[in-house]
Structure 1
Amino acid sequence: MADELVHYEISRGVARITLDSPHNRNALSAQLRRELRAHLASAVEDDAVRVIVLDHTGPVFCAGMDLKEAGGASATEQGVNEFPAILEQIWTSPKPVVAKLGGPARAGGVGIVAAADIAVAAEDATFAFTEVRIGVVPAIISVTVLPRLLPRAAHELFLTGEKFDAHRAVEIGLLNAAVPANKLDDQVEYYTDMLALGGPNALSATKAMLRRQRPSDMSSDFADMLALSARHFASEEGQEGISSFAEKRPARWVPTD
């Protein structure tokens, strides 16, 4: 039986999903895709999980699709057809997803970074949309990447395939923060601690709200948001949050162990 390429562990409400295939720069092989999807599903289904962290071993976060594994058009097509499901799992996860990058991301790896709610990288991490340089189109990842990137930067970087650094990734909206490598764990913990303070249902509903397409009519938008707000104020979770604030104590959902 092949060794596991993606590890899964839970601590204090945080599910850490770690890509562990450094021999091919954590490329999205069939086995890695399969295990990643399974662990994402486990984290979403587990009520004990409040936040999901995407981590990695080795110097590279993810190099994109495993081109060596694709022995022909059909193999390539299989990977391309399966990859959107992974991006959608991350993008639509009802639980916040934090991507932690200690090294570079390329192609599909950048798509994963963009699909996460929050992304933090070491300052020396680099990025590139290399697809055009091998004669293919960064089509699949565009679904998650383009909503994050400034339009001018997207045109430049998608068309040239040029490498860019973590500080520019912050400037154009791909990352939330770029920090010294020895501060990366602290920065990720800062975000996970803050996210764990939110009510699980409120976080899920807020993520869905952030993804929604805004109606052109402002009055309709206000009406929808008023109804959403009222539902959560009146909910058990909302009432618990209000009580905990008034009583100056942690809400019941805040991890304590």
Structure 2
Amino acid sequence: MSEEQPLLVRREGPVVRAAMNRPHRRNAMSAAMMAAMDGLLDELEADRAAARVLVLEGAGGHFCAGLDLGEVAETPGDEQAKLAAQVARNAATGARFARIAALPQVVVARVQGGAFAGGLGFVCAADVALCDATARFSAPEVRRGLVAAQILPWVVRRTGRAAAQRMVLQANVLDAAAAARIGLVHEALPDAAALDAAVAALVADLLRGAPGAVAETKALLAALGPVAPEGYAAAGADAFARCAVGEAKEGIAAFQEKRPPAWEVG
């Protein structure tokens, strides 16, 4: 069952493939899935010799629908406990994106289907992102009463501030071609076969680089400037938590009940 193995990891020589594996939930990020992801990152941070490329993908034709809103809605405890849990969850999400970007390996996002919210964060934290024509991208948080707190710096880094600003405020869905136009992905391929071929060609090229030089190059890219100013991660986690215990109650309920939220006009 996918819930028993929410992250499928296989090694193909120097290439590690990690597939988010909750297709019945469009690979939404559960606590168990993220614990498995953090364990993989621990391994990769310590494995600079054997592992050289990480391909991040999703099972069942989906990439990742973002945070599992069912888990957000079911956070136990009183308001203060819920607030603390939301702060911790969002801070961990931001730290996870930073760890992915800082890996000594080259990270490739292979995207099919939806890459929404936190899923979009994974795409933008990767070094290279490729998709096929089924791919859809969105930062829908404001429509759920939440904020795109920890994905925002990564989307800005990938697309530039103007495009990111429109994405997180309008919260609409971009198709593969639109995502490629704004630089959200590096290339959009016509179908799954073409995507697989492009990923294989990319990985082959990446493996031609010396692993030490690749890691040093990534470190130099990071040294060009932080993805967000000091204090942003904590402020983002706090903002997410306030929304999660406030407007998101109505937003998540409306999403689950497939109805417009109370604040929607028109």
Q: Same fold (TM over 0.5)?
A: yes
d(CA) in 1 for partners of 2:194, 2:23: 22
Secondary structure of the structure 2 residue equivalent to 1:15: strand
d(CA) in 2 for partners of 1:89, 1:191: 22
Give, in angstroms, the shift of residue 142 of structure 1. 1.0
d(CA) in 2 for partners of 1:176, 1:23: 28
- Counterpart residue number, 1:29: 30
- Counterpart residue number, 2:55: 53
d(CA) in 1 for partners of 2:46, 2:9: 14
Given the alignment, which residue of 217, 222, 225 partners 1:206?
217
| TM-score normalised over the length of structure 2 | 0.76
Unaligned runs of 5+ in 1: 215-257
Secondary structure of the structure 2 residue equivalent to 1:16: strand
Matched residue count? 214
Q: From the CA coordinates, give the structure whose radius of gyration is larger.
A: 1
Given the alignment, which residue of 159, 164, 168 partners 2:174?
164
- Let me know the Cα RMSD of the aligned residues: 1.6
**2:128 corresponds to 1:118:** yes
Q: Deviating runs (4+, > 6 A) in structure 1? A: none
d(CA) in 2 for partners of 1:154, 1:7: 31
Highest relative contact order (Cα 8 Å, sep 6+), 1 or 2? 2
- 1:198 partner letter: G
d(CA) in 1 for partners of 2:170, 2:15: 38
The answer to whether the 8 A contact 2:52-2:211 is kept is yes
Give, in angstroms, the shift of residue 170 of structure 1. 1.3
Greater Cα shift, 66-75 or 201-210: 66-75
Give, in angstroms, the shift of residue 84 of structure 1. 1.4
d(CA) in 1 for partners of 2:217, 2:118: 26
d(CA) in 2 for partners of 1:204, 1:125: 29
- Relative to structure 1, the CA distance from residue 141 to residue 80 in structure 2 (aligned partners, 3 Å threshold; closer, same or farther) is same
Aligned pairs for 1:240-251 (under 5 A) are none
Greater Cα shift, 169-178 or 67-76: 67-76
Unaligned runs of 5+ in 2: 76-81, 226-266
Aligned pairs for 1:10-159 (under 5 A) are 10-46=11-47, 47-70=49-72, 71-72=74-75, 73-74=82-83, 75-159=85-169
Secondary structure of the structure 2 residue equivalent to 1:145: helix
The answer to whether the 8 A contact 1:128-1:164 is kept is yes
The answer to whether the 8 A contact 2:152-2:164 is kept is no
- Counterpart residue number, 2:5: 4
Provide the identity percentage.
Answer: 36
